[in-house]
Structure 1
């Protein structure tokens, strides 16, 4: 009887210790969420393509000794003008430790970018080089088991800059990007009639009437006139329709359209006046 007690005691102790270690292992695996980064474009109407080459997408975390964490290494060229009218592409997604991530940065090559204008392709480079990357403040809160989606609006119209009299490189790339949490933004869509007006569509915040701010833009589809502006914070906007075919059509504005987070406001058909 005594022998049985001596034998059973270590077994019970081992079972208890193994349960304790299993519990500790379960705790260490928790506390992570996902960050997904999507990219869209505010287009430029004077180019047929704007190609940028992205090497890496990184974020940093408050209190992390590791510095920057790589979300993705796409090593890929993207044509920004394909990312209009609500189209986006995922350039990075990864599981991250829960916490606050104050910044994101894109590492682009110094060269390897190009713009197509009137059938000709011109190489572009980033002045000063891409050593530190393009940093954006985001203050993203990653929560356990939650996906945080970040929308990057790469503004081609402000990023492609004419270099003046330099015949070899008439254009340079100065990336202009806005970052927004997708969950707190909404969209607005509609149709322009006729599509032959080839309009550029702007969402304008006119809270300050003396200095209105253009917060998003796109080019309506030239086949059916459809347009969609995404990534707008809640509020009221004027939608300005500006025909590129301005010899035959005039600009018009649809005023006071509301945006609600997580939804799309369809404003119907916008008729463009003929000259």
Structure 2
């Protein structure tokens, strides 16, 4: 009998220890995800705001969604207000550690577009109020640590006007780990165009065919990773991931009567970096790169 009691006690001790270890492991398998939103250049000159109303942010892994953060009332913000490295803070939350492949913004009714004359129009975000505005991209949430994620919506690609006159937000945004991203600061000389936009492409992916008039619901330079408008001879591309990039400079001519800009030409550019002339820009994590570009248009 005494032996039986000893064995039972040992089983209880081991079982309790295993339960406590399981609980501790479960607690340690959580990580914090912080979500920010940024924008890049936008082609529509008569637009002053693209406003999203976000109720909830979800993370997706293997087809299952987990809530990162939810709001008592929707967070409403103008995506266009956050460019050149500025971000809108959508908050943070704890989720299971692991590999994820998507973020979803569950939207409230009433996201809209605002024009420079003060008028507004509805913004069509397919499935935005149900399964959410979907942003695809792989990212890791590590146990007992904080991961700062930035969603680069890049309205130049995502925001389009369809042939039927509707304004639509496409799911072309990207997810960047802020703590492993780089910044490109550019200085441009020799420019005579009314407007210049610089586009970044993964090395070897740019095709001249992307300069053609885009199909309905698409944009020029569809495969670019990032873009920036040159202002006073300067531009900034924030949240660039590690890799090798080609830079494409694009000239636009202004039509003052219609307050629009028409595409003129595009060309791959060489750049001066730290005294070296390069045709391909290598970007490393956390780098702050100064680029000099001389244009001939």
Same fold (TM over 0.5): yes
**Contact 1:151–1:181, Cα closer than 8 Å, also in 2:** yes
1:55 counterpart residue number: 55
Q: Distance in 2 between matches of 1:77 and 1:148?
A: 23
Q: Size of the alignment, in residue pairs?
A: 248
Query: After superposition, where does 1:65-84 map in structure 2 within 5 Å?
Result: 67-73=65-71, 75-84=74-83
Aligned to 2:142: 143
Q: Which residue of 1 aligns with 2:94?
A: 95
- Is 1:201 aligned with 2:198? yes
Matched position secondary structure for 2:39 = strand
What is the rounded CA distance, in whole Å, between the counterparts of 2:266 and 2:126 in structure 1?
A: 39
Q: Which has the larger radius of gyration?
A: 1
Compute the TM-score of the two structures, normalised by the length of structure 2: 0.68
Instruction: Identify which of 34, 39, 42 aligns with 1:41.
Output: 39
Is 1:228 the equivalent of 2:236? yes
Residue deviations 1:131-155 (CA, integer Å, cap 9, x gap): 1112334443322232212221112
- The 2-side partners of 1:244 and 1:271 are apart by 17
1:265 aligns with 2:273: no
**Aligned position for 1:15:** none
Query: 1:86: Cα distance to partner?
Result: 1.9
CA contact (8 A) 1:201 1:218 kept: yes
Q: Gaps (5+ residues) in structure 2?
A: 1-16, 211-222, 256-263, 271-278
Gaps of 5+ in 1: 1-19
Instruction: Pick one of 188, 200, 206 that aligns with 2:184.
Output: 188
Residue aligned with 2:237, SS = strand
Q: How far off its partner does 1:88 sit?
A: 1.9
Report if aligned partners of 1:72, 1:93 keep a CA contact under 8 Å in 2: no
TM, length-normalised to structure 1 = 0.72
C-alpha distance in 2, partners of 1:123/1:164? 15
Deviation at 1:57? 0.8
Q: Deviations over 1:162-186 (max 9, x none)?
A: 24355xxx42333431123334432
TM-aligned CA deviation for residue 40 of structure 1: 1.4
RMSD: 3.7
Cα 1:238–1:40 shift into 2, 3 Å: same
1:158 CA displacement: 2.6
What residue is the counterpart of 2:245 in the other structure?
A: 237
Match of 1:30 among 1, 11, 28: 28
